[in-house]
Amino acid sequence: MEKNIVRTRYAPSPTGFMHIGNLRTALYEYLISKSLGGKFILRIEDTDKCRYVEGAQDVIYSTLKKVGLIHDEGPDIGGDFGPYIQSQRKDIYLKYAMKLIEEGKAYYCFCDKERLENLKKSEDSLEYGGYDRHCRGLDKSFVDSMLKSNKPYVIRQKMPIDGSTKFIDEVYGEITVENKELQDQILIKADGFPTYNFANVVDDYLMGITHIVRGCEYLSSTPKYNLLYEAFGWKIPKYIHLPLIMGKNEDGSLSKLSKRHGSVSFEDLVNDGYLPQAIVNYIAMLGWCPNDNREIFSLEDLIKNFSIDRINKSPSVFDYDKLSWFNQEYIKAKSDDDLLQLFTPYIKKSISSSNIDYLKIVKTIRNRVTKLSEIPDMIDFIQLLPEYKIDLFINKKSKTNLENSLFVLKKVKERLLKLDIWNHESIHDLLIDMAKEMKLKNGTLMWPVRIAVSGKLVTPGGAVEILDILGKDESINRIDFGINKLENEGDR
RNA sequence: GGCCCGGUGGUCAAACGGUUAAGACAUCGCCCUUUCACGGCGGUAACACGGGUUCGAUUCCCGUCCGGGUCACCA
């Protein structure tokens, strides 16, 4: 192994979806290692067989790939410290647990669930952090006989009874926890699998992880980890705890971001029409900021600028408005061609006619889209003129009413009919000229036309863009329809 | 409840003993305009509270309050 190289790891459990908080942790792990020229390792923590989810690992791989967090070692690509899936490392943990038993630092515990339950209910369960250390002093011959008769057991670590454990966190500083708060933690579960805490420590050590980056919900349990490192005589890595990402509850209170806060997985957000890069950029700014006012960062820029000492301590609230703003910025930065690619599937949801030029649509909506999912509703009128009320024609600012709208529409129809070249420029010039000729405000002429061809009060793009997209025949038809509508319904 | 962490506008977030306390999002107003947007300009809005330390505290210390996290054979 290369000396002194920074190694961070992302160690998700395969739950089947990528929680945004986890993604943020992965991002920071990646940034810390890459900004320091280190390696980023992926390890799957699947020690809870009850939670096994089919295909969950693929979600992890595909998400990391989509956002560009490329790992240097992992289950799919191997590495010198594999296997990288904990269920395939089961024997390793047992071996290390046994070592602790031999050294008198851990012990077999035969307490069953029922006893533990009762213990929790009792008053003095607060002592020793919840477990009364019933099996800590068991007679060796008794243990042997229990083992021989195949009694189920767990292996627990002996925690110090008094004193305190302190450690330095790179963002929170020195933290001290009284040892009596810590119960004799379980290392190996009755099913033979290691607990998360134990597997985590063993693997981090074996895989040479130098910086442990995780959410600060682990802050108060970190001493447990350290006591394990100490029991083995291993060097304690650097700790970097990240401030939590919070979600706003319906009653206005805050809590750790979770499903009840809406779309909180990466997939949800992508399905909602947010771009992966925008998501990454946004979550990077949740808990970290550069020393200037910059907000837009590519992953490469983040690597260049990231520094641990600018990680924030206080929790932050996930804000969809701000995410939308980032998303818009990323959309605006793209070329028309890129957007055509990106928008096409969403355009197709509303438009089936084959004679519509998608690129024209892209050009007119590109500055109005905040998330891709709103595209279909934005342009549905292009496919089919919706029903509308004639008072849409009345607009104070544009100085339009039913009468002049009808008049304008008739005139415009006449002239449009004679227009041979149908494109944005020719339509634009014609209408502007007409307004001048008729001594009307541009708006007075444009408004009725836009309403007639869209049937909507608010549209992406104005009359000219819509006429251009619709084409001559359809445009004339819709204007005709508007004329009839005004003539039939206008008097009343 | 014990323990741990946090507390700058509605949200994100600068400042690291002396500033008229930045900026961004949101919001409001105006301008631009062919609706809505985009863009431009401007406004409202914050150092949780009380004690210290100091010539001077948003900044350092203590307490209070508030918020969150954690106390599993889940990770």
Neighbours of A380 (CB within 10 A): 14
Kindly indicate the confidence band of residue A2, based on its pLDDT and cuts at 50, 70 and 90.
Answer: low
**Residues of A tagged active-site:** 259
Q: Give me the CA A126–C1' B50 separation in Å, rounded.
A: 34
User: Helices A463-470 and A442-454 sit at what angle, rounded to 10 degrees?
Assistant: 40
Q: Residue for token digits 């499903």?
A: A259
- Return the pLDDT at A51: 75
A475: CB within 7 A of chain B nucleic strand: no
Strand B contact with A444 (CB < 7 A): no
CB of A295 lies under 7 Å from some atom of strand B: yes
> A375-383 and A463-470 helices cross at what angle (nearest 10)?
60
* β-strand partners of A175: A167
Q: What is the pLDDT of residues A93-132, one digit of tens each?
A: 999 999 999 999 999 999 988 888 887 777 666 666 678 8
Say whether the CB atom of A217 is under 7 angstroms from strand B. Answer: yes
Give CA–CA dist A408/A233, Å, rounded: 88
- Tens-digit pLDDT profile for residues A10-43: 999 998 899 999 999 999 999 999 999 999 999 9
CB A196 within 8 A of CB A143: no
Average pLDDT over all residues of chain A: 93
Q: Give the CA A7 to C1' B26 distance in Å.
A: 39
* A368 C-beta less than 7 Å away from strand B: yes
Q: For the segment A469-491, what is each residue's pLDDT rounded down to a tens digit?
A: 999 999 999 999 999 999 998 76
Q: Nucleic chain B: which protein residues 169-198 of A have CB below 7 A from it?
A: 172-173, 175-178, 181, 183, 186, 189-191, 193, 195-197
Q: Where are the alpha helices (DSSP H) in A68-214?
A: 90-102, 113-121, 140-148, 196-206
A344 sits in which H/E element = helix A336-348
pLDDT at A50 over 90: no
Task: Please give residues of chain A from 65 to 104 whose alpha-adjacent beta carbon (CB) lies under 7 Å from any atom of strand B.
Answer: none
Q: Is the dihedral of CA A15, A19, A21, A25 positive or negative?
A: positive
Confidence bin at A52 (pLDDT 50/70/90): confident
Q: For residue A14, give the nearest of A85, A69, A74 by alpha carbon.
A: A85
CB A310 under 7 Å to nucleic chain B: yes
Positions 262-281 in A, CB within 7 angstroms of strand B: none
Residues 453-472 of chain A sitting with CB below 7 angstroms of strand B: 457-465
Q: How far is the CA of A278 from the C1' of B31 (A)?
A: 31
pTM comes to 0.94
Is the C-beta atom of A347 closer than 7 angstroms to strand B? Answer: no
- Find and list the nucleotides of strand B having atoms within 7 Å of a protein beta carbon: 1-8, 10-15, 22-26, 33-38, 67-75
Going from the C-alpha of A456 to that of each of A34, A304, A419, the distances in angstroms are 51, 47, 25
Task: Report the distance separating Cα A316 and Cα A120, nearest Å.
Answer: 34
Confidence of residue A55 (pLDDT cuts 50, 70, 90): confident
CA–CA separation, A303 and A204 (whole Å): 23
Q: What is the mean pLDDT of residues A347-370?
A: 95
Q: In Å, what is the separation between the CA of A313 and the C1' of B7? A: 11
A327 CB less than 7 Å from any atom of strand B: no
Nearest nucleotide to A175 by CA–C1' distance? B4
Q: Which nucleotide is nearest to A194 (CA to C1')?
A: B73
| Rg (alpha carbons) of chain A, rounded to whole number | 32
Sign of CA pseudo-dihedral A451, A457, A462, A468: negative
